[in-house]
């Protein structure tokens, strides 16, 4: 049986010293990794001492000697953090951090890059370039539901057109008129704005209206020689809709005059307006180009949110929380502005939660957190992200506050046929139409029932259900002796109906 060496013996101390010297000299690998080496045998060490041939020792450079020294930091293991960007931990209790995040997610903040609308922007930009190069007037109608990026895209295109026209040496400077129709005192004031760009110091005299003055100007060949191309961007074009649509008609017809030099871009929320209004213009040789901005999908909303959050040097939202927001908003309306509002609401919920928990913190918990930060930085990062980021429960509560209301509860409690009537009303009124008759709405209701192979109710029962919806504040019915002739108006927001019925595939398909 082998003898066990005494810890106080000289031989035991020599062995320990040899092991320590082996570890200190050989622990560092070429790449800074710890590579365990095989223990040298005593016979090898003895042979090395007894060998008559001496091998010259290679001198190490001062840098290598410093790294291989047992007293050097980390025992010669060098870490390089130059390639890894160090992100600050987000602190929702910091006023500046919270302000920066809210500003990045604010509706009025224009992002540097507008994603998911590249195709629409390209079509509008090419249209403007072609008109300017050919010195030819033209009109374009950009339409889509609210919050689909129409105004942001047109602002981006406007700047791109200005930059492009400035670099073209053979082109005259471009005049630009960008206005929001909601700021006009009356619908016909838009012609005064256009005329003021052409003749800023000249006032119309006599009984000639600004519209007549523009028509005369665009009919005169002499005026064309000295005038510049003008880009007119009229946002919120829906406010110019009158009963006879005369203002819209005259505005687009300005681009058809022989010596007109204006490029008109109208932006509106009414999709169906193009189907009802443009055929009349086309019959008069006015053919506006139509660019439709569809509602954002789940993936597009998620991409836009991530793009806005890229400017921040810290992680604010859990990925699952952003995905939940994108999925719910896309199912309800596809309104990007609604998604931004939901994210800001989720942040405020987290802020209130932290404010409430801050009053319950004790000194012991603070000391414990400080110790954990010093001893376990990886654990600290995990806990910081877990406690300070906007989680999925915060987002779910924000979505509930945004979309959930007594109206949603009322819609979900309705019988199936009344829910189908609401769906038919949403589809019928989508695109800017304000009201209709009970008879016309009944036809839309029957079409949906036939597509789903559901037997529709008769006209008397249909009229009765419309009165029930009127009593619950979802419809507004007008007065008429004949039930079919009663005017019906939808009194609730389309997003509330979509959110209330999105859980049923049948209704989800109907509302698409």
pLDDT by residue (tens digit) across 147-173? Answer: 999 999 999 999 999 999 999 888 888
Query: For residues 27 and 75, is the Cβ–Cβ distance under 8 A?
Result: yes
Which band of pLDDT confidence, cut at 50, 70 and 90, is reported for residue 64?
very low
Collapsing DSSP to helix, strand or coil, 178 comes out as strand
Q: Between residues 320 and 169, which one has the greater pLDDT?
A: 320
Closest to 292 measured CA to CA, from 508, 462, 124, 132: 124
Query: What three-state secondary structure class fits 231?
Result: strand
d(CA 130, CA 81): 51
Distance CA 420, CA 413 (A): 13
Rounded distance between C-alpha atoms, residue 505 and residue 141, angstroms: 33
CA torsion sign for 428, 430, 431, 436 is positive
Handedness of CA 407, 410, 416, 421 (dihedral sign): negative
Average pLDDT, integer, range 103-121: 92
**Nearest 5°: phi and psi at 33?**
-100, 145
pLDDT (tens digit per residue) in 386-418: 568 899 999 999 998 888 777 888 898 899 999
pLDDT digits (tens, 9 = 90+) for 263-285: 999 998 876 666 677 777 877 78
CB distance 152 to 114 below 8 Å: yes
Whole-number pLDDT of residue 390: 94
Report which of 435, 347, 451 is spatially closest to residue 390, judged by C-alpha positions: 347
HSE-up of 417 (CA within 13 Å, CB side)?
17
Most confident of 55-64, 350-359, 393-402: 393-402
Place of tokens 């066990």: 4
Most confident stretch, 63-67, 234-238, 281-285, 434-438: 234-238
pLDDT given for residue 278 in this prediction: 75
Residue 6 CB-half CA count within 13 A: 3
pLDDT digits (tens, 9 = 90+) for 485-501: 999 999 888 888 888 88
Residue 43: band (very low, low, confident or very high) from pLDDT cuts 50, 70, 90? very low
**Calpha distance 486→438 (Å, rounded):** 6
Give the three-state DSSP class for 34. Answer: strand
């Amino acid at each position: 049986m082998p003898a066990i060496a005494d810890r106080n013996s000289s031989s035991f101390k020599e062995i320990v010293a040899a092991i320590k010297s082996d570890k200190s000299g050989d622990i560092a690998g070429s790449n800074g990794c710890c590579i365990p080496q095989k223990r040298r045998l005593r016979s090898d060490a003895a042979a090395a001492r007894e060998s008559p041939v001496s091998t010259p020792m290679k001198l190490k450079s001062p840098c290598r000697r410093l790294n291989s020294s047992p007293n050097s930091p980390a025992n010669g293991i060098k870490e390089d953090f130059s390639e890894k960007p160090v992100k600050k931990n987000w602190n929702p209790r910091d006023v500046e951090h919270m302000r920066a995040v809210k500003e990045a997610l604010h509706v009025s903040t224009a992002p540097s890059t507008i994603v998911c609308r590249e195709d629409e922007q390209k079509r509008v930009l090419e249209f403007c370039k072609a008109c300017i190069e050919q010195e030819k007037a033209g009109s374009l109608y950009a339409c889509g539901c609210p919050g689909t990026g129409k105004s942001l895209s047109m602002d981006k295109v406007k700047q791109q057109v200005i930059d492009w026209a400035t670099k073209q040496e053979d082109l005259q400077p471009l005049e630009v008129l960008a206005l929001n129709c909601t700021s006009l005192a009356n619908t016909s004031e838009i012609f005064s704005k256009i005329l003021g760009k052409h003749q800023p110091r000249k006032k119309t005299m006599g009984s000639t209206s600004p519209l007549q003055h523009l028509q005369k100007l665009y009919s005169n060949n002499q005026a064309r020689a000295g005038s510049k191309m003008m880009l007119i961007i009229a946002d919120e074009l829906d406010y110019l809709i009158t009963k006879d649509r005369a203002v819209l008609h005259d505005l687009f017809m300005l681009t058809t005059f022989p010596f007109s030099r204006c490029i008109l871009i109208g932006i509106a929320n009414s999709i169906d307006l193009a189907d009802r209004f443009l055929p009349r213009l086309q019959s008069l040789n006015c053919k506006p180009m139509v660019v439709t901005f569809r509602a954002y999908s789940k993936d597009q909303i998620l991409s836009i949110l991530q793009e806005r959050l890229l400017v921040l040097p810290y992680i604010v939202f859990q990925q699952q929380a952003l995905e939940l927001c994108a999925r719910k908003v896309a199912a309800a309306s596809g309104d990007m502005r609604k998604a931004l509002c939901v994210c800001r609401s989720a942040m405020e919920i987290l802020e209130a939660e932290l404010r409430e928990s801050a009053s319950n913190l004790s000194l012991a918990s603070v000391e414990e957190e400080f110790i954990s930060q010093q001893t376990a930085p990886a654990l600290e990062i995990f806990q910081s992200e877990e406690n300070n980021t906007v989680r999925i429960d915060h987002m779910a509560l924000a979505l509930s506050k945004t979309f959930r209301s007594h109206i949603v509860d009322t819609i979900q409690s309705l019988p199936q046929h009344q829910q189908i009537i609401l769906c038919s009303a949403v589809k019928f009124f989508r695109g800017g139409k304000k009201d209709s008759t009970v008879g016309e709405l009944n036809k839309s209701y029957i079409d949906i029932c036939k597509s789903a192979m559901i037997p529709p109710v008769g006209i008397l029962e249909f009229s009765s259900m419309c009165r029930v919806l009127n009593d619950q504040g979802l419809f507004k019915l007008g007065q008429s002796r004949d039930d079919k002739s009663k005017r019906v108006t939808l009194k609730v927001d389309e997003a509330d109906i979509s959110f209330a019925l999105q859980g049923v595939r049948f209704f989800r398909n109907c509302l698409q």
